């Protein structure tokens, strides 16, 4: 706790430094204060062939308004209002407001969606979709090419999904860019979780590197690896050391204007039952979106959204995308999940086949700011899931219309 408070005090102290040392943002065209918005209607159809989960159908409506821009030469505001209607009813909230002070050296504080790595938030160790959680916190960023380095501290906002609450994160995220499309991102994150529940990663320190390499005009490679250490809550009264590893390698072949291919292999370490410590990988803020795939969602007591399974995972993912015309794309994704360390005892002893999944995603942009999307996915349990959780084959449909203005 003392270390954390020191970091927070340090950030506040540096705010003064930024205020007095930062040059006034010099831009050719002065940025203006802007209000933009988005309206989205999505239909959820979820069919679960299992004994516990009921089938679901509902419509989700969401309207967002952003008000962003400079309020003085050196101070910038970003804010978000949101209205949601779904099967839980209507909700309106003033969701985010953050102030950014400075330019090359800047301090951003308030409630915000943080943006690092390959997408919004942390796209750690798996090329998944972005995460939509507001954080209360501050980041101190030094952005002077070829370096972009941020020191940050945050905790998920009280209205974030339950699985994200009760934790605090401190971190350092860097990016070094070289040539066109090449970047190396080293990072260090420290996360503490207060729950004390068995199966929680009570403290995770993660150090990793992500390397994105544009091989040629048509090829791209991404490689990432991270080591984790800390403590794992084995029982309510007992914590054991955490020592885990995860990584992935992804190749994308995308000739301009044509069909593209993707092949990815992910490795997340599993616990070795023969050791006292815990070797299962903590997925941190990895966002396995239930909306657009990962139907047979791996999930344990990880505090993110999935992929915390004591047996760890190997995931093989192959995808292909077709550009039907300038406005229409169609993609196919196939996933194969295998446990790294199948259980040695119990009903599923020795079974490593976790699940398979097939997803189809169709997108059409008839005009600027308008998108139609139709997604259908099907998940098939492997022997491990059948023996532990029953025959939970499932499929989902997600028609969606989105208008931005
Ligand atoms: Ca162990």
pLDDT digits (tens, 9 = 90+) for 36-91: 999 999 998 888 776 566 788 889 999 999 999 999 989 999 999 999 988 778 88
Query: For residue 95, how far is the Cα from the chain centroid?
Result: 19
Mean pLDDT score of the chain: 83
pLDDT above 90 covers what percent of the chain? 47
- Note the pTM of the prediction, 2 decimals: 0.83
Model confidence at 120: pLDDT above 60: no
Largest CA distance in the chain: 67
Q: Is pLDDT larger for residue 115 or for residue 129?
A: 115
Looking at residue 297, what is its pLDDT? 57
Lowest mean pLDDT among 52-61, 347-356, 358-367: 52-61
400 CA → ligand 1 middle, Å: 44
The more confidently predicted of residues 129 and 132 is 132
Quote the CA–CA distance of 180 and 182 in Å, as a whole number: 6
Q: How far apart are CA 155 and CA 223, in angstroms?
A: 28
Distance 248 CA to ligand 1 centre (A): 22
Pairing state between β 105-112 and 135-144: antiparallel
145 pLDDT more than 60: yes
Taken in order 367, 292, 263, 205, is the CA torsion positive or negative? positive
Instruction: Please tell me the distance between residue 51's alpha carbon and the centre of ligand 1 in angstroms.
Output: 32
Per-residue confidence (pLDDT) for residue 50, from 0 to 100: 65
What lies within 8 Å, CB to CB, of 244 at 6+ separation is 227, 228, 229, 268, 269, 278, 279, 280, 281, 282
pLDDT at position 77 is 96
Short-list 338, 340, 305, 251, CA closest to 131: 305
Per the DSSP assignment, residues forming a β-bridge with 359 are: 333, 377
Residue in the block written with tokens 């309106």: 92
Please tell me the distance between residue 254's alpha carbon and the centre of ligand 1 in angstroms: 41
Q: Which of 21-30, 161-170, 313-322, 380-389 has the lowest mean pLDDT?
A: 21-30
Is a pLDDT exceeding 70 seen at residue 93? yes
Residues 283 and 304: their CA atoms lie apart, in Å, by 6
Domains parsed from the chain with CATH numbers: 2-404 (2.40.160.100)
Spatial distance between the Cα atoms of 52 and 44, rounded to a whole number of angstroms = 19
């Amino acid at each position: 706790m003392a270390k954390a408070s020191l970091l927070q005090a340090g950030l506040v102290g540096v705010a003064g430094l930024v205020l007095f040392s930062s040059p006034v943002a010099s831009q050719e065209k002065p940025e203006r204060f802007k209000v933009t918005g988005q309206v989205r209607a999505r239909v959820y159809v979820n069919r679960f062939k299992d004994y516990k989960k009921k089938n679901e159908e509902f419509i989700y409506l969401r309207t967002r308004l952003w008000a962003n821009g400079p309020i003085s030469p050196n101070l910038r505001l970003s804010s978000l209002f949101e209205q949601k209607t779904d099967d839980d009813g209507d909700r309106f909230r003033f969701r985010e407001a953050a102030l950014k002070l400075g330019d090359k050296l800047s301090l951003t504080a308030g409630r915000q969606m943080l943006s690092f790595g390959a997408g919004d938030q942390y796209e750690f160790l798996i090329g998944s979709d972005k995460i939509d959680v507001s954080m209360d916190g501050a980041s101190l960023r030094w952005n002077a090419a070829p370096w972009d380095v941020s020191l940050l501290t945050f905790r998920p906002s009280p209205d974030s999904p339950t699985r994200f609450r009760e934790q605090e994160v401190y971190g350092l995220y860097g990016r070094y860019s070289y040539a066109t499309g090449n970047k190396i991102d080293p990072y260090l994150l420290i996360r503490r979780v207060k729950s004390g529940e068995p199966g929680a990663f009570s403290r995770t320190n993660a150090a990793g590197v992500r390397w994105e390499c544009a091989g040629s005009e048509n090829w791209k490679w991404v490689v990432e690896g991270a080591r984790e250490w800390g403590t794992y809550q084995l029982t309510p009264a007992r914590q054991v050391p955490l020592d885990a590893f995860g990584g992935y390698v992804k190749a994308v072949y995308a000739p301009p204007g044509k069909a593209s291919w993707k092949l990815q292999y992910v490795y997340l370490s599993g616990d070795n039952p023969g050791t006292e410590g815990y070797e299962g990988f903590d997925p941190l803020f990895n966002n396995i979106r239930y909306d657009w795939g990962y139907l047979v969602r791996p999930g344990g007591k990880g505090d993110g959204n999935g992929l915390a399974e004591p047996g760890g995972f190997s995931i093989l993912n192959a995808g292909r995308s077709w550009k039907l015309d300038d406005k229409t794309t169609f993609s196919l994704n196939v996933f194969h999940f295998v446990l790294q360390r199948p259980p040695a005892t119990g009903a599923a002893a020795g079974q490593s086949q976790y699940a398979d999944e097939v997803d189809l995603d169709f997108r059409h942009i008839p005009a600027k700011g308008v998108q139609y999307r139709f997604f259908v996915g099907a998940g098939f349990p492997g022997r491990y899931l059948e023996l532990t959780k029953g025959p939970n084959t499932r499929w989902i449909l997600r028609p969606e219309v989105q208008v931005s203005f």
